[in-house]
Structure 1
Amino acid sequence: MMSRLKLPLYGKILLWFLVNLAVLALFGYVYVSKLITPELEWLLSGPPGSKFEHLSARLRDQLISKPQNGWLDVLERYEDRRGVTFALFSSDGQLVLGHAPDPPEEVRKSLIDKRRAEPRQRPQRPEASSQPPKPRFLLRSENPTRYWAGIHMDILYEQGDFWHPLTMVMVSSDVSANGLLFNWTPWAILFSCGILFSALLWLPVVRGITEAIRRTNEASRRIAAGKFDVRLSDTRGDELGELATSVNVMAAQLGDYVAQQRRITADVAHELCSPIARMQMALGVVEQRSTPEQETYLKKLDNELQHMAKLVEEVLAFSKAATLPDRETAETFDLRELIDQVIAREAPECEIRVIVEDLNFHTLRSALDRALGNVLRNAVRYARDIEIHACSQNDRVTIQVLDQGPGVPADSLARLFEPFYRPEAARGRNTGGSGLGLAITKRCIDACGGTVTARLREPAGLIVEIVIPNG
Structure 2
Amino acid sequence: MTPRSLFARVTLIIVVGLAIAQLLTFAAIRYERGMALRELMMTGIERDIASSIAMLDHLPAAEREAWLGRLERRNYRFMLGGGVTGPQPASQQSQEFAAAIVTALRPFEVVKVAQSTGDDVRIEVRLTDGSPVVVDARRVGMPVSNWVVWVLLLQLAVLGTCAWFAVRLVTRPLARLAQAADELGPDLKGRMLAEEGPSEVAHAARAFNAMQRRIAGYMAERVEILAAISHDLQTPITRMRLRTEMMDNEKDQLKFRQDLDAMNALVTEGVTYAKTLHGATEPPCRVDADALLESMVADYQDSGQPVHLEGRIGGPVVTRPNALRRILANLVDNALKFASDVRMEVRVGADRLVIAITDNGPGIPHDQLEAVLKPFYRVEGSRNRSTGGTGLGLAIAHQLAIAMGAELSLHNRDGGGLEARVAMPLQRDPAS
TM-score relative to the length of structure 2: 0.70
Q: 1:269 aligned to 230, 233, 240, which one?
A: 230
Structure 1: how far apart are the matches of 2:3 and 2:378? 35
Distance change in 2, residues 1:321/1:44 (3 Å): same
SS at match of 1:435: coil
Structure 2: how far apart are the matches of 1:223 and 1:18? 35
Query: What's 2:421 paired with?
Result: 464
1:136-190 Cα distance to aligned partner (Å, 9 max, x none): xxxxx9xxxx9736799xx9999x97142624124xxxxxx8xx43449767655
Offset at residue 6 of structure 1 (A) = 5.6
- After TM superposition, the structure 1 stretch with the greater mean CA deviation from structure 2, 23-32 or 268-277, is 23-32
Q: 1:103 aligned to 85, 89, 108, which one?
A: 89
Instruction: Tell me the amino acid that sits aligned with residue 408 of structure 2.
Output: T
Offset at residue 14 of structure 1 (A) = 2.5
Query: What's 2:38 paired with?
Result: 44
Query: What's 2:363 paired with?
Result: 406
Structure 1: how far apart are the matches of 2:188 and 2:87? 81
Instruction: Tell me the amino acid that sits aligned with residue 14 of structure 1.
Output: T
CA RMSD between the two structures? 4.9
Distance change in 2, residues 1:240/1:251 (3 Å): same
Offset at residue 439 of structure 1 (A) = 3.1
Query: What's 1:419 paired with?
Result: 375
Offset at residue 119 of structure 1 (A) = 6.0
Query: What's 2:12 paired with?
Result: 15
Structure 1: how far apart are the matches of 2:118 and 2:255? 105
Distance change in 2, residues 1:317/1:10 (3 Å): closer
SS at match of 2:138: strand
Distance change in 2, residues 1:229/1:425 (3 Å): farther
Instruction: Please tell me whether residue 231 in structure 1 is matched to residue 178 in structure 2.
Output: no
Query: What's 2:57 paired with?
Result: none
Kindly report which structure 2 residues correspond to 1:99-138, keeping only aligned pairs within 5 A, or say none.
102-104=88-90, 106=92, 107-108=94-95, 110-112=97-99, 113-116=102-105
Structure 2: how far apart are the matches of 1:438 and 1:31? 71
Distance change in 2, residues 1:192/1:419 (3 Å): farther
Offset at residue 313 of structure 1 (A) = 2.2
Instruction: Please tell me whether residue 169 in structure 1 is matched to residue 166 in structure 2.
Output: no
Instruction: Please tell me whether residue 304 in structure 1 is matched to residue 290 in structure 2.
Output: no
Offset at residue 29 of structure 1 (A) = 10
Distance change in 2, residues 1:243/1:408 (3 Å): farther
Kindly report which structure 2 residues correspond to 1:196-345, keeping only aligned pairs within 5 A, or say none.
196-223=157-184, 225-286=186-247, 289-290=248-249, 296-319=251-274, 321=276, 332-345=286-299
Alignment check: 8 A CA contact 2:120 2:136 kept: no
Offset at residue 304 of structure 1 (A) = 1.7
Query: What's 1:390 paired with?
Result: 346
1:69-109 Cα distance to aligned partner (Å, 9 max, x none): x99xx99xx9xxxxxxx99799xxx9849xx8641285346
Distance change in 2, residues 1:358/1:200 (3 Å): same
Instruction: Tell me the amino acid that sits aligned with residue 89 of structure 2.
Output: P
Instruction: Please tell me whether residue 381 in structure 1 is matched to residue 352 in structure 2.
Output: no
- After TM superposition, the structure 1 stretch with the greater mean CA deviation from structure 2, 390-399 or 9-18, is 390-399
Query: What's 1:134 paired with?
Result: none
Structure 2: how far apart are the matches of 1:411 and 1:164? 100
SS at match of 2:407: strand
Structure 2: how far apart are the matches of 1:329 and 1:30? 66
- After TM superposition, the structure 1 stretch with the greater mean CA deviation from structure 2, 217-226 or 418-427, is 418-427
Structure 1: how far apart are the matches of 2:273 and 2:125? 108
SS at match of 1:13: helix
**Structure 2: 5+ residue stretches without partners:** 53-64, 110-114
Alignment check: 8 A CA contact 1:89 1:95 kept: no
SS at match of 2:311: strand
Instruction: Tell me the amino acid that sits aligned with residue 357 of structure 2.
Output: V
Offset at residue 13 of structure 1 (A) = 0.9
Offset at residue 110 of structure 1 (A) = 3.6
TM-score relative to the length of structure 1: 0.65
Structure 1: how far apart are the matches of 2:261 and 2:91? 111
Alignment check: 8 A CA contact 2:317 2:428 kept: yes
Offset at residue 324 of structure 1 (A) = 8.8
Alignment check: 8 A CA contact 1:409 1:425 kept: no
Offset at residue 196 of structure 1 (A) = 2.8
Structure 2: how far apart are the matches of 1:278 and 1:357? 49
Instruction: Tell me the amino acid that sits aligned with residue 452 of structure 1.
Output: E
Alignment check: 8 A CA contact 2:14 2:163 kept: no
Structure 1: how far apart are the matches of 2:322 and 2:384? 29
Offset at residue 336 of structure 1 (A) = 2.0
Alignment check: 8 A CA contact 1:396 1:470 kept: no
- After TM superposition, the structure 1 stretch with the greater mean CA deviation from structure 2, 209-218 or 239-248, is 209-218
Instruction: Please tell me whether residue 370 in structure 1 is matched to residue 326 in structure 2.
Output: yes
Structure 1: how far apart are the matches of 2:373 and 2:97? 89
